[in-house]
Structure 1
């Protein structure tokens, strides 16, 4: 296997149809008995390049942020030596010029599915989900200064706004959050509490504001702001079998939601990043008809915000969900993620360089 990585597929248990909300599958890890390695080596090309594996090892359900030419991988879940997975506060830094990894100061609070954004040369974490037997929304916020390698606490999020796995976007001094979830209980029958909340945080004034709710609740969703519009793409509602292809757009001037052209492939647990006027989406988990919640997608699809049009791109060499993407200098970096439904963290780190979207096949 490339870089000695075993890409593992674990058995997944789906919730019964009588449950009010579909369960997150059991969480297999790379040491799960009976797990089998992937059959073939990844194939690169058509914009895809392999990069140095995550220095600290497999990571999933994390977030990423870019400062200059460096990509920060923050929080998430990692294999637990005692079995299963554990939440982490670890922060690692990938140097896109040198193709090397280093450590940064860890988050003061361990969390997975953190809500992360970069403003003014600093990284903001605005809540996430806890570790433990049931992952609960956290109100904790922090700001990271790369000059001092320190996280500074922010005032807690207002009660009722806390959640993890929200769509994120930045415009000016404001960070926008849409959707997310307050509870994720791993295992068969575990609760997934998806929300339709939309809010903003001004990094200068420290003021939180509630905005018009999403047309429907979403979590594990893609998000980006292009111009004055906040796009919320795909995602799911109370479980990975309930994936969606919707694209919602919030005009930040009129504060009105509209619906745009749907994604070619309904997916939750996707990674998304904007380059120019296009939003690129990668991977994901879950079948929309609920027949196979263990499905992990290789799909890469781009949305042209000016033309309201989707195109299909070359698929991911290593299909993953529960990962994150960020653009640096026109190249999109996608570190970590899971290769099987639920939790199957890997240390894969790939880069995608967009070509002219017009050359791709339209949806």
Structure 2
């Protein structure tokens, strides 16, 4: 049974007018930022897929298991207007281009911290619904064979947050940054953190790691080789976008800074394919007609420490999530205007394809 938490807000509930704050001057302004097209034009690696069967979704997370993409939690349009936080879990079969429902999350949540390890899906904290979204310590593991969620010990007190960068290495899940509070509306509190921690799925033990050089939320994350990358994001507000790339070396236990993103963006989706990390969309675009949303698709080559601009999104979005399945990156849902504008768009990007 779905148990949504209501939040009666307009589509621009999170947009705060101000100037973007960039970490590296000269980076961050797209050359031609398109608004969300009425009729999307696909190609150049982009392909439309079956829309989310349950309807529009935003501020969710995704995980991939056995050729299927799981869409967990987030916000969706409310029956009486505004948006609600949901416990819904929907599953996209990449082979059949079909949707189904899985057992719902034990509690409604948005901005959940999600990772797949050893054939299971872990949710380690999130933000709640309500008039002010607060960090939750709640943690769960999902077994797809039993279609069942099991409660885990909560996150250690003081480390709870949602919207963290996520990475997996061996039996450990890594979380970097995130936020403890997001109060929608102009001037609402956005409590960004620099906390970094790990969770071992075998022992159930949490560990605190060296903090990020600067606080980040709504950020991209991926582990490639022996390094955990944290890309872009924002710091205490949608327009405070960042272009930084931080890299944590598991051997030295230290953070260093790498080549910055061509476009500073927060609210991005990111996924790794091989030694490259692809970053999509985002929020905080100051360009006229952009609806505060970025269309950018930029890839970071971890081996060469360099960036490349690729074909932009057919439907620019923020507040979405990305995951790779067999070399194809799936990006379900997201918002097409600043704040909350959930859509049911489901598409995919295949690097190197026309």
Q: Judge conservation of contact 1:242–1:290 (CA < 8 Å) in 2.
A: no
Counterpart for residue 335 of structure 1: 332
TM-score (norm 2): 0.90
User: How far 1:40 moved relative to its partner?
Assistant: 3.1
Which of 339, 342, 346 is the aligned partner of 2:343? 346
Question: Are 1:88 and 2:99 counterparts?
Answer: no
User: How far 1:150 moved relative to its partner?
Assistant: 0.1
User: Which ranges in structure 1 are unaligned for 5 or more consecutive residues?
Assistant: 1-8, 18-36
Question: Are 1:322 and 2:319 counterparts?
Answer: yes
Q: Judge conservation of contact 1:161–1:197 (CA < 8 Å) in 2.
A: yes
The CA deviation string for residues 181-211 of structure 1, in whole angstroms up to 9 with x for no partner, is 0000111221000000000000000000000
User: How far 1:16 moved relative to its partner?
Assistant: 6.8
Structural mapping, 1:271-310, within 5 Å: 271-287=269-285, 294-310=291-307
User: How far 1:14 moved relative to its partner?
Assistant: 4.9
Question: Are 1:145 and 2:143 counterparts?
Answer: yes
Q: Judge conservation of contact 2:76–2:84 (CA < 8 Å) in 1.
A: yes
Counterpart for residue 262 of structure 1: 260
Question: Are 1:157 and 2:116 counterparts?
Answer: no
Which of 96, 118, 121 is the aligned partner of 1:120? 118
Secondary structure of 2:116's partner?
A: strand
Q: 1: distance between equivalents of 2:246 and 2:36? A: 35
Q: Judge conservation of contact 2:12–2:339 (CA < 8 Å) in 1.
A: no
User: How far 1:11 moved relative to its partner?
Assistant: 5.1
User: How far 1:253 moved relative to its partner?
Assistant: 1.6
User: How far 1:231 moved relative to its partner?
Assistant: 0.1
Question: Are 1:52 and 2:27 counterparts?
Answer: no
Q: Judge conservation of contact 2:318–2:335 (CA < 8 Å) in 1.
A: yes
With over 3 angstroms needed to count, the CA separation of the structure-2 counterparts of 1:198 and 1:291, relative to structure 1, is farther
Secondary structure of 2:122's partner?
A: strand
Counterpart for residue 27 of structure 1: none
Question: Are 1:234 and 2:196 counterparts?
Answer: no
With over 3 angstroms needed to count, the CA separation of the structure-2 counterparts of 1:170 and 1:14, relative to structure 1, is closer
With over 3 angstroms needed to count, the CA separation of the structure-2 counterparts of 1:316 and 1:200, relative to structure 1, is same
User: How far 1:280 moved relative to its partner?
Assistant: 0.3
Q: 2: distance between equivalents of 1:181 and 1:291? A: 28
Q: 1: distance between equivalents of 2:83 and 2:209? A: 35
Q: 2: distance between equivalents of 1:292 and 1:315? A: 16
With over 3 angstroms needed to count, the CA separation of the structure-2 counterparts of 1:350 and 1:136, relative to structure 1, is same
With over 3 angstroms needed to count, the CA separation of the structure-2 counterparts of 1:38 and 1:292, relative to structure 1, is closer
TM-score (norm 1): 0.88
Q: Judge conservation of contact 1:293–1:341 (CA < 8 Å) in 2.
A: no
Greater relative contact order structure (CA < 8 Å, 6+ sep) = 2
Q: 2: distance between equivalents of 1:206 and 1:169? A: 17
Q: Judge conservation of contact 1:234–1:268 (CA < 8 Å) in 2.
A: yes
Q: Judge conservation of contact 2:13–2:340 (CA < 8 Å) in 1.
A: no
The CA deviation string for residues 34-64 of structure 1, in whole angstroms up to 9 with x for no partner, is xxx9653100001000000001000000000
After the TM superposition, list the runs of 4 or more consecutive aligned residues in structure 1 that deviate by more than 4 angstroms.
Answer: 9-17, 289-294
Q: Judge conservation of contact 2:17–2:239 (CA < 8 Å) in 1.
A: no
Figure out how many residues of one structure are paired with residues of the other and give that number. 330
User: How far 1:120 moved relative to its partner?
Assistant: 0.2
